[in-house]
A and B are shown apart, each in its own frame.
Chain A
Amino acid sequence: MYKILEKQVLSDVTKLMVVEAPQIARKAQAGQFIIVLMHDNGERIPLTIADYDRDAGTLTMIFQEVGKSTMEMGTMNVGDGFKTIVGPLGHPTEIENFGSVICVGGGVGIAPVYPIARALKKAGNHVTSIIGARTKELLLWEDKMRAVSDELIVTTDDGSYGRKDLVTVPLKEILDAKPGKIAKIWAIGPAIMMKFVAATTKPYNVPTIVSLNSIMVDGTGMCGGCRVPMEGGARFVCVDGPEFDAHKVDWSGLLSRMSFYRTQEQAAIAHWREKHKCNLDRAVAEGVK
């Protein structure tokens, strides 16, 4: 069992957990991910390594409750544990001193962009970070991002905090203001955000890296479920990625593949809520007795 040592509620739907997994912490690098399995009846869920502590042997993960498994994970507490945590999977981010770089994080995507920004900063880059979310509630790690960035821009879609804009707006402003100066861009967030970042940077020809979150099973190249159509043929996100050249990704192909299990995902939530409610009802009834 992989124990949960710390839990933070970052928003109603965003949770942070620190888990014990020394064999993975030893090896983890920015850009890599893990797969977790809650229990024998669970499914294998890929999550980015948001941070790691080699000495303490721990990993930090941040997740958003979007479906049955992540909602159930949200109910786990310190002392509980996962049946499985496996990793570190995927290739690490290629870190060098590129010069001036931009890191874009959207929503829960801020978490995985953080270790990348940190490593880029450490390697001597001038790091500009743009973080954004739908609303103030969903923003996270502003202070941590500020600490590893030379400049930080914060946006919200509804203007409840920072600039009222999508992340692509300040991104375009920087590209216009500093033509030819930006060496590389990283963008992590919802697929739709990454798609628009790719479209924004394409005309400027600035190399843009995205971390894709296709649907996975094993995470080791065995099933091909994670494959994403791309210029030059499909690639497996788990072993060839998760980072890819944003300008080569077939975004509509990715989005379509990500929706394949939608009806079943909804059924899973309904089933879980029902069961959960039964338990609640029973607990209440027993309490009354």
Chain B
Amino acid sequence: MAELTKKERMKIARQDMPVQEPEDRVQNFSEVALGFTMELARTEAERCLQCKEPHCMEGCPVEVTIPEFIEAVREGDMAKAVRLMKAKNNLPAICGRVCPQEVQCESRCILGKKGQAVAIGRIERFVGDFELANKTFDVSRAPSTGKKVAVVGSGPAGLTCAVDLGRMGHDVTIFESLHTPGGVLVYGIPEFRLPKSVIRAEIETAAKALGIQILSDYVIGRTLTIDELMSKFDAIFLGTGAGLPMFMNIPGINLNGVMSANEFLTRVNLMRGYQFPEFDTPVMVGKRVAVVGAGNVAMDSARCSLRLQSLRSKENGSEKGGEVHIVYRRSSEEVPARLEEVHHAKEEGVIFDFLTNPVEILGDDKGAVRGMVCIKMELGEPDQSGRRRPIPIKGSEFEMKVDQVIMALGTSPNPLVFVNADGLERSRHGTVVANNDTGRTTMKGVWAGGDVVTGAATVISAMGAGKRAAADMDKYLSGEISW
């Protein structure tokens, strides 16, 4: 394409990504958004104005050099685009898919002021997928330093930290309690949003190139403790996430059919329960499911429920799958999930009950869920989070007929890892106290980052924390700086 003028660039419409149609995709667990073609990616790349002061970069927690990599895509120099990307972000195929771009990079894009922002995430995904298919980038390891590092947890924080340390020549061992590495990326986020093959490929390539040893089935705090790791390794990074589910303190919470989103999603994703009985782990789905909460976790639970309902109804020949509700105490304005997921959930038929809060779950004589009493809410003055506080409307209780309730109310760090780690200070909320720039904790030789420090946040912020910690750990291990 010939060089375009600014005006011409601004005339190009934001390119849509091809998707599976809603009525098809609720029948399967395959990826919903199919990704750009080369042509779509280059057209979208033409929209970028190559700003001298690119505000988009300020919105990215790891400061991907956005205009540069987009320019490389525009020129069709994919190897260069990959190189630029990987300098800041090891996992573009993943971030392109799951970053909440509308509140990060794309929210700052100058084009978004009047029209629509450049689809940075979609181009980034294209770059990541290109790399997975073509392997242009050489992940190489610096000469060995002889230093040994233990990384606890294999989610985005741990993986990023391990990869960076591996590149710097340190000997890295990852300890993971589950049988598959990847953290939330494998046990939480469903296949239709982030295919497992993408994560597996990223992890295998990096581990092989960098000699990273991954020990799954190691629960730190049980199989080994932090103090035992201290005696065998020169430095430790904790990236154990925020895996502890929260339940509401309301009557009926222990009835059969009430479960945490973690349980439901782990059965579906990690254990592949949607392929039961080919896979052994059972997963139940009701005819009328209520998911409490409206974050990404809630959207994923709701959309997995819909899919299970229609797959199962096809199996037993009944007509309609069922009904899935999102029950959220605030309004549509405050929904914390990624915009694209909310949009997809609506298209697929998820029903949104805003300003509604459960007060009791009702059981039948066998101890199974038969309904949920909710109360209507209204919005009052803004609270500490700056969002308007939901207040119950007196006397507005009503009964919803449901037979399954999935709690997606947020999570906190799992304390299991902290056995025999007395010097490690934690906050009231159970998160590890760590320096934001370096990841250093209050225990000498121990760094931490990701959800275990911030509480449930995002993939890219966890990766950013892993990266910053790796840089500081490297300086410490080389003797450049002391503790």
Contact = CB atoms under 8 A, between A and B. Distances in A.
Interface of A: 23-24, 27, 37, 41-44, 68-69, 83-89, 217-218, 220-225, 227, 229, 234, 239, 252-253, 256-257, 259-261, 264-265, 267-268, 271-272
Contacts of A86: 177, 179, 217-219, 223
A271 B243 CA distance: 33
A276 to B, nearest CB: 13
Interface in B240-274: 243-245, 247, 253-254, 256-257, 259-260, 262-263, 266-267, 271-272
Contacts of A260: 256-257, 284
A44 B271 contact: yes
B266 A218 contact: yes
Contacts, number: 119
A16 B466 CA distance: 44
Contact of A261 (B253, B266, B282, B367): B282
A261 B277 contact: no
B222 interface: yes
Given A69-B280, A260-B256, 8 more contacts: A37-B179, A41-B280, A43-B282, A221-B414, A223-B260, A256-B367, A259-B256, A268-B276
Contact of A42 (B178, B259, B280, B284): B280
B17 interface: no
12 contacts: A27-B222, A88-B222, A88-B223, A89-B219, A89-B222, A222-B245, A222-B266, A234-B247, A264-B284, A267-B277, A268-B277, A271-B277
Contacts of A42: 279-280
A257 B256 contact: yes
A43 B271 contact: yes
A37 B281 CA distance: 11
A222 B222 CA distance: 15
Contact of A222 (B243, B271, B279, B367): B243
B278 interface: yes
B51 interface: no
A-B residue pairs, 9 tightest by C-beta: A264-B282, A223-B263, A256-B367, A43-B280, A271-B277, A43-B281, A86-B217, A84-B179, A224-B260
B218 A23 contact: yes
B472 to A, nearest CB: 29
B266 A268 contact: no
Contact of A227 (B254, B266, B271): B254
B267 to A, nearest CB: 6
B277 A272 contact: yes
B9 to A, nearest CB: 48
B280 A222 contact: no
B217 A221 contact: no
A261 B264 CA distance: 13
Contacts of B414: 220-222
B81 to A, nearest CB: 35
Contacts of B266: 217-218, 222-223
Nearest to A274: B277
B424 interface: no
Nearest to B254: A229
B219 A220 contact: yes
A220 B416 contact: yes
B343 interface: no
A256 B245 CA distance: 22
A76 B247 CA distance: 39
Contacts of B267: 217
Nearest to B246: A224
B282 A268 contact: yes
Contacts of A229: 254
Contact of A257 (B254, B276, B284): B254
Nearest to A83: B179
A234 B259 CA distance: 13
Contacts of B217: 84-86
B179 A224 contact: no
